[in-house]
Amino acid sequence: MTFLTALSIVALAVLFYNFSRIRAISAANGVQANLHSRPSYHGLYSFLWVFLVGVTALIIGSILTPHPMVLFGVVAGLSAAVGIWTTRGITAETRARNKAERIVTGILWACAGVAVLTTIGIILSLVFETYNFFESLGWRVDKFLFGTRWSPLSGLQDGVMDPDRVGILPLMVGTLMITAIAMIIAAPIGLLAAIYLSEFASQRVRGWVKPMLEVLAGIPTVVYGFFAAITVAPLLRETGDLFGLKIASESALAAGIVIGIMIIPSISSLADDVINSVPQSLRDGSLALGATKAETIRQVVIPAALPGIFSAMLLGVSRAIGETMIVVMAAGQGANLTANPFEAVTTITVQIVMLITGDTDASTAAGPAFSLAFTLFCVTLVLNIVAMRVVRKYREAYD
């Protein structure tokens, strides 16, 4: 029925398009040049009104859910009424094009607004649940942020959690450890690869290496997760056994290394961009003074590109913190406050997934899950904003 109603809106819109068009033609008395706007704009104006009013009525109607026939009647009636209103009084002077264009521009504006709406939606939904959760904790936000014990579902009483068991410190430490391992891998490799590509590599080498890095960047994270769990973790465990080290099969090391591999291409491509945007004149000046290429890079290019490189690193950190699939598949699930990378640790994202997909009642699990997500959102937001600020500042320096 909804489909039929939607179809009727389109049919009415098309009908009024033609109706307005014909009325405009007749208003022109056979000489089209008499018209302010071409007939198709008169048609478009009616079409847009009928369509927009119809769709709006349909959406509101779907939420109110009246009887389908009532809905159909109201929607079709409204659309038709608006259609008749737009066709009334069409004369040669009617500025249909301007009116229609204003509507279209409005639609374009609304589309751009969806992005803002999304942000508002994210913030509202996260804040709403987080607020409820903190309220149920009696506003012991300090226990949430600095508590050392995380097992929210074990302390559950009548849907209320024990403030002593919702400390996210172990998750924070786990997330940061994995992120640190990832950055130890990705930062030097990504940066050195970018330096080599932008300063030393021949066209041919670039032609090979760039697509390779793009392939690495295009591999879905679930594939990296499989790789971490099936190949890297057992390999590390066996290597550890050789040296008498006990490496857990869900160690922070395995997840960190694979996340590091995953963010190498994003760091290298961002760093490549900033290195390339260092003006050639700076390099030329340094070379002219007799510096070798390596000295130019170390003492001129890198310092000039440093803000950009810094923000590339921050974006890499932000990606590592927010990464979900690799840690879900390869990191641990139990909160474990440790600084040993060979042990299993858990992360914020893992806990969100466990809470949401677990057997617990959805409304109970939502509290801690959304609070964790809100924390994650804030951390990544700050990192992104700082990164963007730094880039903007740096750009101004050379423009």
Partner 1 sequence: MISMTELSKKHVSPESAARLKKRKSAQKRLQMLGIMAITISGLALVTLLWSVFGKATGAITESYIEMTIELDADEIDRDNIRAANFSGMAKSMLKDSFPYVSGRTPRRQMYDLISVGAAFELRDMVMENPSLVGQTITFEFLASDIADLYLKHSYGQIEAAPHTGDISLVTEGKVTTIQSSAPDFAPLLVSVRAGLHAKAEGLRTQAQMQENGRVVFDQRAADGEDVEVNLAEAIRRGAARDQFYAQADELDALAAQQGAVFDLDSRTASVFVRVGDSWIKLETISETSGSGEILGEFTQDSYAAADWELMVYATPETARKVSDIQAMLLENLRDADKIVTHFNTHFFTAGDSREPELAGVWGAAVGSFWTMMVTVIFAFFIGVPAAIYLEEFAGDSRATRFVEVNINNLAAVPSIVFGLLGLSVFIGFFGMHRSSPIVGGIVLGIMTLPVIIIAARAAIKAVPPSIRDGAMALGASDLQVSMHHVLPLSMPGILTGTILGMARALGETAPLIMIGMVAFIVDIPDGPTDNATVLPVQIFRWADFPERAFEARTAAAIVVLLLFLFVMNFAAIILRKRFERRW
- Lookup: tokens for 234: 């057992």
CB of residue 213 vs partner 1: minimum separation in angstroms?
7
In the bound state with partner 1, the residue whose beta carbon lies nearer, of 138 and 211, is: 211
In the bound state with partner 1, the residue whose beta carbon lies nearer, of 76 and 262, is: 262
Check binding of 295 to partner 1 (CB under 8 A): yes
Return the biggest CA–CA distance within the chain.
Answer: 96
CB of residue 324 vs partner 1: minimum separation in angstroms?
4
In the bound state with partner 1, the residue whose beta carbon lies nearer, of 76 and 271, is: 271
CB of residue 81 vs partner 1: minimum separation in angstroms?
27
Q: Residue 182's CB: how many other CB atoms inside 10 A?
A: 28
Q: Rg of the chain over CA atoms, in angstroms?
A: 30
Q: How many residues bind partner 1 (CB under 8 A)?
A: 89
Among 165-173, 273-281, 290-298, 336-344, which window interacts with partner 1 (CB under 8 A)?
A: 290-298
In the bound state with partner 1, the residue whose beta carbon lies nearer, of 3 and 88, is: 3
Check binding of 315 to partner 1 (CB under 8 A): yes
Length of the chain: 399
Check binding of 246 to partner 1 (CB under 8 A): no
CB of residue 328 vs partner 1: minimum separation in angstroms?
8
Amino acid letter for position 244: G
CA–CA distance, 116 with 383 (Å, rounded to integer): 19
CB of residue 335 vs partner 1: minimum separation in angstroms?
18
In the bound state with partner 1, the residue whose beta carbon lies nearer, of 82 and 326, is: 326
∠ Cα 65 68 74 (to 5°): 85
Place of tokens 């390999």: 235
CA–CA distance, 54 with 388 (Å, rounded to integer): 42
User: 106: closest CA among 95, 98, 94?
Assistant: 98
Check binding of 352 to partner 1 (CB under 8 A): yes
- Lookup: tokens for 313: 């690193």
Amino acid letter for position 53: V
Check binding of 265 to partner 1 (CB under 8 A): yes
In the bound state with partner 1, the residue whose beta carbon lies nearer, of 11 and 209, is: 209
- Lookup: tokens for 210: 């760039």
- Lookup: tokens for 369: 């899950």
Place of tokens 């014990």: 149
From residue 132 to residue 161, the character string flagging contacts with partner 1 as x (rule: CB under 8 A) and all else as - is ------------------------------
Check binding of 292 to partner 1 (CB under 8 A): yes
Check binding of 222 to partner 1 (CB under 8 A): yes
In the bound state with partner 1, the residue whose beta carbon lies nearer, of 81 and 120, is: 120
Q: Are 261 and 185 in contact (CB under 8 A)?
A: yes
Q: What does DSSP assign to residue 91?
A: -
Check binding of 288 to partner 1 (CB under 8 A): no
Bridge partners, residue 157, by sequence: 160
Q: Which helix (H) or strand (E) holds 316?
A: helix 302-322
Check binding of 293 to partner 1 (CB under 8 A): yes
From residue 180 to residue 199, the character string flagging contacts with partner 1 as x (rule: CB under 8 A) and all else as - is --------xxxxxx-xxx--
CA–CA distance, 268 with 197 (Å, rounded to integer): 9
CB of residue 223 vs partner 1: minimum separation in angstroms?
5
CB of residue 170 vs partner 1: minimum separation in angstroms?
19
Q: Are 347 and 335 in contact (CB under 8 A)?
A: no
CB of residue 219 vs partner 1: minimum separation in angstroms?
7
- Which 43-102 residues touch partner 1, going by CB under 8 A? 63, 97-98, 101
CA–CA distance, 326 with 25 (Å, rounded to integer): 64
Check binding of 264 to partner 1 (CB under 8 A): yes
